[in-house]
Structure formats: C-alpha cells, structure tokens
Chains A and B, each alone.
Chain A
Amino acid sequence: MILWAIALFPMSAALISLALRRRSAVLIWIVAGSLVELVLALSAAARVFRAGAVSTLDGHIALDALSALHLCLVAVVSLLSSIYAREYFSHESESSLDDRTAWKFGGLWFAFIGSMVGVLLFNNVGLMWVSMESTTLASTFLICLHRDRPSMEAAWKYLIICSAGIMLGLLGTIFIYGASPLAGESALKWSTLMDSAAQMDPRPARIGFILILIGYGTKVGLAPMHTWLPDAHSQAPTPVSAMFSGVLLNCGFYCITRFVPIVSTAVGDPSWCRHMLLGFGLFSMLVASLFILGQRDLKRLLAYSSVEHMGIVAVGMGMGGGGTFAALYHTINHSVCKSLAFFCAGRTIQERGTRDIEKLSAGRDRVPVWGSGLLVALLALIGCAPFSIFMSEFLIVRAGVEEGQVAAVALFLLAAATVFAGALKPAISLAFGVGKSESRPPAGPVRSAGTAHALVGILSLVLIGLGVWIPAQLQTILHQAAAVIAGN
C-alpha cells in the first residue's frame, strides 16, 4: 500500500504543481511535496529495515534493504535540493525564472523525482529500465531550464548520450532475460532472476552484464562514458546539479548493482563482475583526477569529482569483501557532501558572478556561510580526515588490502593523491585567498537567510558526524543492503 503511495505521489505532485501558476507557490509546493515524499519513504524504509523486504503487484513493485537505502537518499536529497531551490531561485532575477518557467520546473522536478523513485521501486528489471530511461527524458529540460546556448548544448549531449547508453542497457537486460530459463512477465522480476540465476546460461549473462555495465555506466558517469556529465552538471541550475550528483548517479549505480549478484551466480565466479567494476572504477578515477588537476571552472571541478567518486564506489564494489559495505557507505557520504558542495558553489557563483576558481577566491569574506560550507565540502571531497568520505575511502582501501588487491589499491591511492594535490589549492584559495580580479565590485559580505545557515550547518555536521561515528542502526542497514548485493 505504502509502496503505491510512494510510487504515485510524485506523479500526482507533478500534476498538482502544473496546476500552480505562481512561481512562489511552485517553490513552496516542491518543498512541501518532497517533504511528504520523504515522510512516506522513511516510513516504508523503516518497515523494510525492521521486517525485511515488502512488495506489491505480485512482486513487480518491491522494496528491499538496498532500494530502501537509496530511496531514503533520493527523498532526503530531493527535500534538501527543494529547500535550496527556494533559496537559490529567490536570488535569481525574475526574468531567469518567470512564472512559466517555474511552472515547468515544478512539473519536471517531481517527474524527475518520480522516475528515480520508480527506478528504485520496480522489482522488474524491464520496468526499472523504462523508468531509468524516463529519468533522462524528465531531467533534460531541467538542465536547459534557462534557454541559453551552453545549457541547451549540455542538455542535448546529455539526452543523446544517455539515451544511446540506456539503449545498450536494454539490450543487456534482454540478454539476461534470454539467459534465464524462465519466460513471461515474472521472469523479469529481479527476485525471480536471482532464484533462477544458478540455471542461467553463463555466456549471454556475461555479454548482458557487459552491455549493462556500459549502458547504465553511461548514466553513472563512468569513464569513458562520462563525457556528458561535466557539461550537464556545470550548466544545469544548481539545485538540479545537486540532484544529478547526489542521487541520479546513485540510481544508475543501483541498477548495475542489481545485476551483479545475478551475473555472479550465473557465471559462478563473483570475481568476474568485480574485476570489471574495478577496471572501470580505477579508469574513471584516473581520468577524473587528471581533469580535476587543471580545472578552473568550479562547477566542472565538482562534476569531475563526481566522476571520481562514482569510480571510487565502483572500486569499492569491485574490491569485494568489506568493499561493498564501504561502497554503499561512500555513496551516502558522497550524496551528502556533493549536495553541500553544489549548494555552496551555486550561491557563491550567484553572488560573485563568475565560476572561475581563479577569480572566486576569498569566499569566506564575501559569502561567509556558503564560503565556509564550500571549504568544508571540498576538503571532504578530496578525502581529508575526519570527514566521512575519508572514512569510507579508508574502509575501501582496507577491504582492498584484506582481499589482496594490492595493485588496485596502489592505483586507487595514486588517483586519490592526484585529486588531493589538484584540488587542495583551489579549495584553500576559494576560502581564504585574495581575489585576482573581481568580476563585480566587492560589496560587503552577503547576509544569508536562516535556511542557508541551517543547510550548511546540518550537512557539515552530518559529514563530520558520519566521519567520527557511524550509528549502529546505519551500520546494520548498510550490512543488510550489502547482503542484498552479495546475493543472499
């Protein structure tokens, strides 16, 4: 029942917001709506974590620990982004977000959330694919909300590349389906596939996994399919960028992780999938680190760091053993941290009128709250202790050592070190440095609303808190989710 509510609420919310004509009303409604969604998601997730998976529509819609974890992430990040969107657009000029655009924004916003929720709720891999494809369609116009050339270009690249990639994902799904001994609707149910995985024909399963890895990997932003990501993240309005980095990539990764246990069982050798994930993860990390090194555009820097962190998650999954746990933990940390980073970057850029890191320095004097938040977020992103991202990366490395993946660990550390070296200087100069050339005459420090303080403060606290102490409940939740991926 509640699953239906979760699944259908965003769609109805989208319709409702289409009924709203005034920009302010829309901006309030998205907050309210995502709050409701969060409440629904949390209650459902609580039940799942307490009493195990729930399902409806004879198992086509289901929620188990893994999807519940991601569902909570989606709900939380979308609520935060909605709150932030209010803050953000209230500083935009009326022209950039007139009532008509706001009207579209509201509808697409909820459609986007809804499609992601669909990805997580559908137990049927075919329907999962369909909703994954619709995330692309829903979010395209969010990227080019302001109809300027760069955002249009970014949106087009996003649309074409992701659609093409997702098509391969469909083909992969078809191969998996063809590999399974059963047929009919129920044969595409994930749980059924899991049960029949042992009787699968390994050859199509392998090819299917490769296709799925490439296909959904495009959505995740694994190199070399990541090319759309920096453009889309940097051109989209910041709340949308936050959603992209915070949860959309996770959803893509969620789809891949769904297939890992199936194929591992079918192939009869878990290391086969892991090695592929390892390869893609490390490659993404290295590529991203090189691009971060010379990056001058703040939002692109954050985008490439998303590529890097998705690579880290992939590496964590590929390490096996405790790596899966660490990877999920890292997913949470990255969502929190990247949302914070994008929030602060967006407002800073708004206030300073430039996104060039060289010109953006001394953020803490000009935009105190957001500047400090940006510093925290960047330090966390490059893996400074005691932030939670350091902790999860440490756990991944540890898992690698315990699994004896010495070469992988070495490459991992190399890439991480490169990122650290490349991004530390921008981080520091952004916060403290002296601006080279101000694109706008320096006005006094910008006064920020209470919401700003709340957002930055809470997210930073979460970052540090998860770094020094991971609650026992969360630990058990993560273990449950990891167990799902491990296939038992």
Chain B
Amino acid sequence: MTSVTFRAPWTIPFGEFHLHFDALSAAFLIPIVFLSTLCAVYGVLGVLFALAQHDLKRLLAYHSVENIGIIALGMGAGLLGMSYSSPVAAVLGFAGSLLHVFNHAVFKGLLFLCAGSVQHAAGTRDIEKLGGLLKTMPSTGLSFLTGSAAITGLPPLNGFISEWLIYAALFKLTLMGGAAGGVAILSIVSLALIGTLALACFTKAFGVVFLGEPRVAIPTDSHVISGWMLWPMAMLSLLCLAIGAVPMAAFQFELSAAMQVAGAPVLSGEIDSVMSALSGLTAGIWTLIGLGMIVWILRAALAAARGGAAAAPDRTVTWDCGYAHPTPRMQYTASSFVQPLTSLFQMILRPKVHQRPPVGYFAPGASFESHTPDLAADRIFGPLFTWVTRLSTRVLWIQQGRIQAYLLYLFAALTALLAWHLSRV
C-alpha cells in the first residue's frame, strides 16, 4: 500500500495526512485524469494569453500560469505512475515537476529582474514602444536571452532538463495504454504545443524589446543600470546554464524528494536505466556545446583566412528592398509578429481590436491596436462575484426586522421538517 504524506509544521500533533493510493487508483483516477487534462489546458491557455500581451511584465506573469501548468502536468504524471503502480514513471514525474518548480523560480526571477531593469532604463513596459535595447544594455539583454531560452525549455539550459524528465515520465506512461496512456499522450502534445508557443512568445519578447532599432526614442531621463542590478542577473543566468549542463546532478538533487512523494521504493535497476538515459542526455548537451564552439572557431578561422585588415566586415543598412527612407517604425511589431497565432486562436483569446484603416489614396493616417483582456477575469470571476453580491443584497429581506416573520420562520421550519420526515416514514 503506497501512500503520500503531506507534512506541514502545524499538522505534526495531528499525525500525518495519508492518502491511500491503492484506494486512489480506483476511486481517484478520474479526478487525476481530469486534473491533468485541466492543467494541460491551463498551460496552453497561459502561454496563449502571454502571446497576446504587450506589457512585458504581464507577459511574464502569464508565463507563470503556463509553467504552473507544466509543473502540474508533471505531478499528474507522477500520480498516474503511482496509481498504475509504475514507480519509475512516478519518480520521474515528481522529480521533473519538483525540478521545474526550482527552475521556474530561477529563470522567472531572472526574467522579472530583466523586465524591471528595462522598465527602469526605458521608462516603459510596453513592448511596442521598446526596441534595440541590446545595444544600450547588453548584459541585461544577454541575461534576458538566457532566461528566454531557459523558459522555452531549450537545451543546454535548466528548463529543458525538468521538461525532459516530465516528457520521460509521460512517454513511459504512453506505453501503458488505458486512461494513463490517453492522458499521457494529451499531456505530451500539450507540452509540445506549450513549448513551441513559448518559443514564439519569447522570440517576440526578446526580439522586439532588445533587437532591431528603438521604436520610440528612449526618454532622456532614462536611468542607468547599476552593477548591483546586474550581478543577480548574471548569477541566475549562470545557474540556468549550470543546471542545464549537469542533468544527472539535477535529477539526483530531486530524486530523494520525489521518492518520498512517490512513497514506493523504486527498483535500483529502473533508477539505473534512468541514469543511463540521463548520461546520454548529458552527452547530447555537451555535444551541442562542443559543436557550437567548433563551428564558432571555424567561423573565426574562415574570417581570418581572408586576411587581416580586409577581413573587417562591411557595415551597411539592413537590406531595405530598395526603399529610399526606412525608419524604425517600419519594423515588425510585437502584435504583428504574433498575429498569425492570435488570429488562429482568436476564438479563445477574443482580442479587442481598435483599427482605423487607411482610406483612399494618400491616406492621411491609419492606426491599428489590439489588446487581449483576461478570459477568466472577464467571463468567469467578474460575473460570478457580481452575482454573489447581488444575491447577498437580495437575501437581506430575510432579516427584515419583523418579529412575527421570525416566529413564522421558526414554526415553518418545524412544520417543513416534520412534513419531510413523515413523508419519508
């Protein structure tokens, strides 16, 4: 009989809260399946809404939703692994989600620090007004690039390791078939979708904010970024790299915790198989790094081969298709970058579009702007809360102050209860 133990300091005298999974596998399988599905949906929705944001910090916030979705998917994989008594899948899933919790803390912290510096320096969080910051604040830009790659789950950074663990757990479950298989497949597909959408989102964020030319002149009173703001970013970026570079250590780091959550003893042979896979993963990551260096050296060599001074590359304008007077405002904007996706998912996102299309020849002016309000806030919580408030004002007549009415409630309750009782016997 496996059992999870949630132990919080205040429950010590009350003993431990046991969920017995031999019972779970039967009765609670539907909830698990339901929850995993829900988390998959959350993850996708989170990244979709992030995609549609123009405010850098809002964008990051929505990515927290997405990452929590990923974490929950890992948890779901772990629970499924337990209820299908596949300890290795359980351990992989739990370890993955726990590691992702840690990783998310690292790279999301990093990204928020960068966003803060950007706002500090450029005086705005509106992506559409930014651009070309990599030239003015290179180290922040580099940190943001690292964070973006990490949160997108790209090797050789830490995000990839945790996601890989979750993938591994899910693939193990797919081989089982049944409900677990179905959920696992759904989870895998949604993880893949989340990954690519996140890629789109962060190429947008990094590309539009830090690359190209500034879209709006940065205010003259822009603050400088002090070293004290840079060091933490540097540290976090290094941490992203470090965890990504040593997957086995990262796994070991979470293994004991995952084992405790999973409760079940995992056969050493299974752990060994996981370990061998992880060593393969390490090899792959270092291959990537090695090849990257080799190619870089090759590139340098090719440049050198053309001989010293002549090798200085020519600098010119971006190819402008022969257009006479290109301006930064011609750059692709964030909203146009994600337009194909937002239009593809507009059923869900329901963006609000204010546009003034150009009319006639030599149109005096035209404008287009779109913003995406939060689905849950607008369509679920807002209405719900207003409804409850209205209800609470409506029930006030119960306490109308008339004692006769109160006595009536008393006797009516009695009569109703007696009637109900007598009707049943």
Contact = CB atoms under 8 A, between A and B. Distances in A.
A contacting B, Cβ–Cβ less than 8 Å = yes
B421 to A, nearest CB: 6
A356 to B, nearest CB: 16
A284 B349 CA distance: 40
Q: Is the interface of A mostly helix, strand, loop or mixed?
A: helix
A203 interface: yes
B10 A210 contact: no
A468 interface: yes
A293 B13 contact: no
Given A161-B406, A210-B414, A224-B413, A294 B399 contact: no
Interface string A153-173: 000110011001100100000
Contacts of B414: 168, 210-211, 214
B389 A395 contact: no
Contacts of A386: 10
Nearest to B415: A214
Contact of A207 (B12, B405, B418): B418
B291 interface: no
Interface of B: 9-10, 12-14, 17, 385, 388-389, 391-393, 395-396, 398-399, 403, 405-407, 409-410, 412-414, 417-418, 421, 425
A395 B14 contact: yes
A225 B418 contact: no
Given A210-B414, A418-B388, A227 B13 contact: no
A475 interface: yes
A137 interface: no
A391 B13 CA distance: 11
Contact of B410 (A214, A276, A418): A214
A168 B410 CA distance: 10
B421 A291 contact: no
A276 B17 CA distance: 28
Nearest to A286: B395
Given A227-B399, A467-B10, A468-B9, A157 B406 contact: yes
B407 A470 contact: no
Nearest to A276: B417
* Most chain B CB neighbours (cut-off 10 Å) among A227, A228, A418: A227
Interface string A464-483: 00011110100100000000
A114 interface: no
Given A210-B417, A287-B398, A290-B391, A470 B13 contact: yes
Given A293-B389, A467-B10, A160 B403 contact: yes
B395 A206 contact: no
A385 interface: yes
Given A161-B410, A214-B410, 12 more contacts: A160-B403, A224-B413, A227-B405, A290-B388, A290-B392, A290-B395, A291-B396, A293-B389, A294-B393, A421-B385, A422-B392, A467-B10
Contacts of B425: 203, 206
Nearest to B391: A290
Interface in A192-247: 203, 206-207, 210-211, 213-214, 218, 224-225, 227-228, 230
A316 to B, nearest CB: 15
Given A468-B10, A470-B14, A287 B417 contact: no
A219 B398 CA distance: 18
Given A156-B403, A161-B403, A385 B10 contact: yes
A275 to B, nearest CB: 11
B274 to A, nearest CB: 34
Contacts of A470: 13-14
A203 B422 CA distance: 10
Interface string A242-279: 00000000000000000000000000000000001000
A475 B13 contact: yes
A302 to B, nearest CB: 15
A206 B14 contact: no
A355 interface: no
Contacts of A398: 17
Contacts of B409: 224-225, 227
Contacts of A290: 388, 391-392, 395
Interface of A: 156-157, 160-161, 164-165, 168, 203, 206-207, 210-211, 213-214, 218, 224-225, 227-228, 230, 276, 287, 290-291, 293-294, 385-386, 391, 395, 398, 418, 421-422, 467-470, 472, 475
B403 A294 contact: no
A371 B130 CA distance: 47
B393 to A, nearest CB: 6
Contacts of B396: 291, 294
Contacts of A160: 403, 407
A214 B393 contact: no
B13 A294 contact: no
A291 B421 CA distance: 29
Nearest to A161: B406
- Give the top 7 A-B pairs by smallest Cβ distance, nearest first: A227-B406, A293-B392, A224-B409, A290-B392, A294-B392, A214-B414, A468-B10
A472 B17 CA distance: 18
A228 B369 CA distance: 58
A391 B417 CA distance: 33
Contacts of B10: 385-386, 391, 467-469
Contacts of B17: 398
A164 B14 CA distance: 42
Contacts of A228: 406
Contacts of A157: 403, 406
B101 to A, nearest CB: 21
A203 B418 CA distance: 12
A161 B407 contact: yes
A386 B399 CA distance: 33
Contact of B417 (A214, A385, A418): A214
A467 B13 CA distance: 10
A293 B388 contact: yes
Nearest to B385: A421
13 contacts: A156-B403, A157-B403, A210-B418, A211-B414, A213-B417, A224-B410, A225-B410, A227-B409, A291-B392, A291-B396, A293-B389, A294-B389, A391-B14
Nearest to B12: A469
A168 B392 CA distance: 31
A468 B385 CA distance: 33
A95 B49 CA distance: 65
A486 to B, nearest CB: 19
* Most chain A CB neighbours (cut-off 10 Å) among B388, B413, B417: B413
Nearest to B396: A294
A228 B10 CA distance: 37
A63 to B, nearest CB: 27
Contacts of B421: 206-207, 210
Contacts of A395: 14
Nearest to A388: B10
A391 B410 CA distance: 33
Contacts of A225: 409-410, 413
Contacts of B395: 287, 290-291
A290 B389 CA distance: 8
A294 B421 CA distance: 35
A386 B13 CA distance: 14
Contacts of B14: 391, 395, 470
A291 B399 contact: yes
A160 B406 CA distance: 10
Contacts of B405: 227
Contacts of A293: 388-389, 392
